[in-house]
Each structure stands twice: as structure tokens, then as C-alpha cells.
Structure 1
Amino acid sequence: MINASEQLCSKCSKANATSICIGCKQIFCPEDSISHRQDLSNEFDAVINKHDLLHQQFEKQDNDATTHPIMDKVNQWEKETIAKIKQEAHKAHYELQQLFTRCNEELGQKLRRITKELCTAKDKQDYLETHLCKWLDALEALQNELTTPSDFKVHIKAMSINVTLMPIEKFDRVCGDIRLEQNELAVVHGAMNSHAEVRGACLYLHGIHHIKIKIEKMLKDHWMFFGIISSTAEMDEKSYLTQSAYGWA
């Protein structure tokens, strides 16, 4: 019969249990106490092995991040992003080329017009200092447009780029007693009491366009005509009577 004061071994159930494990709170006999300690030692070795494996994996990953699984997602994102950027860049190149072609055509028209005026003036020997100043200013303006065009605007966002043409309207050709000032942004009528014409530099084919014009001074009983006219129409002091002219006074 087992004495009530005797403790049973938690492993073999013998009545000679003498050791208590303060970790698991179990009671063991001397033989199983040694065995239990050996089991703890084996479990500790397993923890050490797991630690060593994790440490090796950590060092390998730290030295070579390309082996990390998430790097595949980053690489895929990189490929897709580069493809989108190349697509947007190709689109921007095409649009920019189209705009350059259009602007060069307009510059060519302006240059051919000046060439015609110079040839006519040379053949007829019909030119004054005012004509020379006007031609020099026009050539200087064309030179600036050719070397440093200010009409282009580029909008760059995270994944897109847009190239647009921002036309800067200025006064261009004149006919009659009229002159251009302030870098072709202002028009001044001379002292002669006669009609005169001035046209803008930009050409418009379709759409809605907003142009601001400020009248700083106009004599009493005088009037102005604002309108549109075909670009092929000849300059004339009374161009408002031209068939293609349309506007209001």
C-alpha cells in the first residue's frame, strides 16, 4: 500500500517521486528526473538549431535581397512601369513632332511673306527707315521663335506626360498708318485720319478661342472693327469689306 505522504512520479507513477520541475510543475522519481532533464536538453538543442537556421537565412537574405519572394513583385512592377513610361514617352515624341511640324509650317509662311516683301521692295527700290525697322523686328521675332519656342508646354505626372501647344497671340502684319509696340503686343494708330489694318500672328482653323483686347484710347467719332478673315486675303486698309471678313464694330 502507498503511503499518503508519498508522491507519485508524473512519468512512471512510482511512489518514490522526489524531484519537482519548477518549469512544468511536475514531480519525478530520481530516474525520470534525469530523463526529463535530458528531454529538456534535447528540446533546447532543437531551439538552438532553429535559431542557427534562421540566422543563416537572415544573413543570406540581408546580403542578397534579390532572393526575397517580394522582390518578384517589385520586378514585375518595374517591368510594367517601364512599359507604361515608354508608351507615354512614345506618345509624347509623336505629339511633339506634330507640333514642331505645325509650328515650322507657320514660321515658314511668315518667313516667305517677309521674303516676298523684301524682294518687292528691292525691285521697286521702295523702302524707308521705318520699313527696315519693321523687317528687322519681324526677323528678330522669327529668330526667337525658331531658337527658343515658348509656345510648347509639357505637363509631367507620375505615369504620364502631355505636350500641348500654348499659342501666344501677338500682332503681326500691319497695313496703313499703324505701328506695333511693346514686343508686338500693342498697336498704335498714327496721326493720319485714315483706315488701317492689323492682324494677329496665330492662325485658327476651328474651335473656340479666347483673346483679350484692351482699348486704352480711342478718339471721339472713331470706330474699330474686330473680326476674322481668311489668311489668304491680301492686306488692305479696308479689309473689313473683304468677303471673308466677319466680325463686329
Structure 2
Amino acid sequence: MTSTIQPKTPCTTCGKPSALFMCRGCEKDFCMRHANEHRQELGKQLDELTLDYDQLREKFNEETGQSRYYIQMKEKIEEWERESIEKIYQVANDARKNLENMIEKHSTKLIECLTKVACQINEARKEDEFFETDINEWINQLNKLKNDIYQPPTFDIQYSDNNISFISKINVGICDEGFGRILGNVQLEDNGQVAIHVGSDDYSTVRGKNHYSYGKHRLRFKIEEYCSSKWIFIGIISQDIPMEQLSIKSRSLYGWAGPNQVYINGRFHASFNQYISDAQQDDILELFINCDEQKISLTNERTQSSYELDIDLKQCPFPWQLNINMYFRGDRIRFLSN
């Protein structure tokens, strides 16, 4: 006779054939006791998740309002505002002085003419030597002076027709830059935000995604892994130059590397402009690309050391592009959004 008793399902936790409940989340079976424990464990995980959220939200509020980087950005905007206002005041003061000088010159000329006519009339009266022609001449001179007094010269304010303002425009936006083309033993991760040197030690090149022909641009990087030899090149190159693994020798290349290496037109200069490569692992570096003044600068945010290079447009014509060179296996650099 066939038995109609269905086999009991074992509990996932204790293994006893007494499972009464199945969790719809993990699809596991539990007995009464361990079903309660399972729910308690899920509740505990939810509590931990809530705590993580609260801590993350608190950290977010702190970073958004009090981050050293955000504070520095606000200070730079305020500095731009002060400098612009000072320029406006200076130009306005110069215009006022020019107007005052022109009015003073005109007044001085009128006084000299009036004095001259008065002297001529007094001298003629004193000597009793004057005729109708003299009187008519003095009348004509006084009428002319009368017109100059009652109808002063018209002054015109001339505005520069140059489209480039003497006050540089400032703009704040999200930077969509990142690593793009690669050549050599390097690979990209995190949607092109991280470059890692893989394989054997050898020169490898990484180019940025964007190109620059005008304006000012701040690019920030974090050195997440750094070989003890500490050699990563950060700089620019003309976009039209073909990719090379050893791009540091390109005549179009400008930038900095360690130890104390400066590259100008692809030529190495030790400690140029007293450059010292003080970058360490976890340091954040800022590359400032100033197309308007044809300059670039590199700043270590930890040490506040900063160095600048003038760019020869004949050697490195627009558009410019970010150029990173890596040599040692394991070196890792991350592009940071501004």
C-alpha cells in the first residue's frame, strides 16, 4: 500500500525535517524557531543599513557645506569678484581723471584768453591809443569767448569695440573630463576615471577625452597607488600629435614628472623653475589649463606647492589635450570630478 504522507522539508538552519515557512526573499525553508531568528537577522541588517545611511547623509552634509575643496572654490570665486570690482573702480577712476583734466585744460585756456583781452583793453585805455578797428576786434574776441563759455565742448564716452572684456568671465560647471585613449601597458576602470599600469614596467600613455582651445580649466587627480620610484607624468600635448608610448619626447609636450623632472617641448629639464616633485600616494594634484594666457600649472593640494609653465603655441598648437605617462607596474591614478 502506497503511503500518502508527504516527506517533510528540512530547515535550512538546523536540518530538522520541521520547516514550516519559506522566505520569499532567499527562497529558503525554516522551522518556526529559525524563521523567527531569520526575521530578526533581517531586521538587524536593516538597522545596520539605516545606520549606514544616516552616517552617509551626515557625512554628505558636512562635505557639501564644509569641504575644504568647496571652501577653496568659494574663496576663488570671491577673489575673482574682488579683483573684477577693483578693475572696474580703476577704469572708472581713470575715466573721471581724464574728464577732469580735459575740463581743466578748457577752463585754463578760456581764462588765458579773457586775461589777454582785458590786458589789451586796459593798455589801450591807459595810452589812449585805440580805434574802431581795435574795438571791433575786441568785440569779436569776446563774442567767441562768450560762445565757448555758454556752449562748452561736448565730451564723448568711447566704449571699446573689443569683444574680449578686460574682466575675464568666470563660470562654474561640472567637469566631464576623464581618461580616453590609451597606448601601452595600461588599462582603464570605473568608466574611464581610473588608469592602472599593468604588465611589465614600460612607458605607457593615456590621453584625456576632452580638448581645450580657450578658457580656463581645472583637472584634479588622486594618486591611489604609487611605486617607490614615484614617476608619473602629468601635462598636456597638442591633440593632433599621434599617440606614442614614449610621448614625453614629443616636441608638443609640456608637464611635470618625478623625480624633479620638467618637460618642455619634449626635452627634460631637471628642477626647472625650482620644481620639486613632492607627490606621494593618496595626494591630490591639480592641473590648471589656462588657454587664454597660454599657460599650465600643477599644484599639490596637500603641500600647496605650485609650478607654472608657459606654452609655445608654435610647438604646441591648440587644441590641447591632457597627457598622462606611466612606467611602473601597479601605479594607479584616478581622475576626480571638480
TM-score by length of 2: 0.35
TM-score, structure 1 length as denominator? Answer: 0.45
- Structure (1 or 2) with the greater helix fraction: 1
Give the number of the structure whose alpha-carbon radius of gyration is greater: 1
Query: Greater strand percent: which structure?
Result: 2
